[in-house]
Amino acid sequence: MRFEVFTDEFEALIGTNFWTMIFAWVNLLILYLFLRKLLFNPVKNMIDNRQKEIDDMYADAAEKEKAAEADKAAYAKKLRLAGEESENIRKQAQREALLKEEEILKEAQDQAQRTRKRAEEEIEREKKRALNEIKDEVSGMAIEIASSLIGRDVKEEEHRAMIDDFISHMDEKS
């Protein structure tokens, strides 16, 4: 008997009762709706918000990458322009240096030409002065020699004219 009571209670506990099954399904439905309202929706919203933040971060990163590329391109352009400008400045400085060099060379040549011309003029003056001194000495000696040979006085003017004529003939030969 004791075993029968126990089996009745066990059967009542494990057995299938239609009303118990409906009650379990209703409880399960209420639990699902309750968890959906209090747990699933907030968790889903939190996951959606986090996904939106991640998408926004990717979009922001893409925009920053585009901005960085634009900045890089602008920097490269500025660098290229600076290189071109420095090349132009270098070429201009080189042209100016060549012009200055030509100017200095021309000035040096002009100076050398003036110096050579002054030297030639000085040489010509010295040559004439030396020639005149030699004329004077030669004419003085010739007068003395002629006076001593002839024994008479030769007029100095006649004698100078003869010597000048002789010297001019010598200049023409040389």
Residue 21 lies in a domain: no
Contact 174, 168 (CB under 8 A): no
Specify the pLDDT at position 1: 47
User: What would the mean pLDDT of 26-48 be, rounded to a whole number?
Assistant: 89
Q: Is the pLDDT of residue 96 over 80?
A: yes
Residue 54 lies in a domain: yes
Q: Can you tell me whether residue 174 is helix, strand or coil? A: coil
Q: Provide the percentage of residues in the chain whose pLDDT is more than 90.
A: 51
Cα 43 to Cα 77: distance, rounded to the nearest angstrom = 50
Residue 164 lies in a domain: yes
Residue 149 lies in a domain: yes
Backbone angles phi, psi at 16, to 5 degrees: -105, 120
Cα 103 to Cα 109: distance, rounded to the nearest angstrom = 10
Number of C-beta neighbours around residue 154 at 10 A: 13
Residue 7 lies in a domain: no
Task: Give residue for tokens 């379990």.
Answer: 24
Give the total number of structural domains in the chain.
Answer: 1
Where are the strands (E) in 47-137, listed by range?
none
Contact 159, 143 (CB under 8 A): yes
The pLDDT tens digits for 61-75 are 999 999 999 999 999
In the chain, count H helices and then E strands.
4, 0
Residue 81 lies in a domain: yes
Which residue would you say has higher pLDDT here, 15 or 27?
27
Cα angle 71, 72, 76 (rounded to 5 degrees) comes to: 115
Specify the pLDDT at position 147: 64
Q: What is the mean pLDDT of the chain?
A: 83
Torsional class of 127: left (φ above 0), alpha (ψ -120 to 50), beta (otherwise): alpha
Residue 12 lies in a domain: no
The boundaries of the domain holding residue 168 are 40-173
Task: Give residue for tokens 């990458």.
Answer: 65
* 0.85 surpassed by pTM: no
Q: Is the pLDDT of residue 152 over 60?
A: no
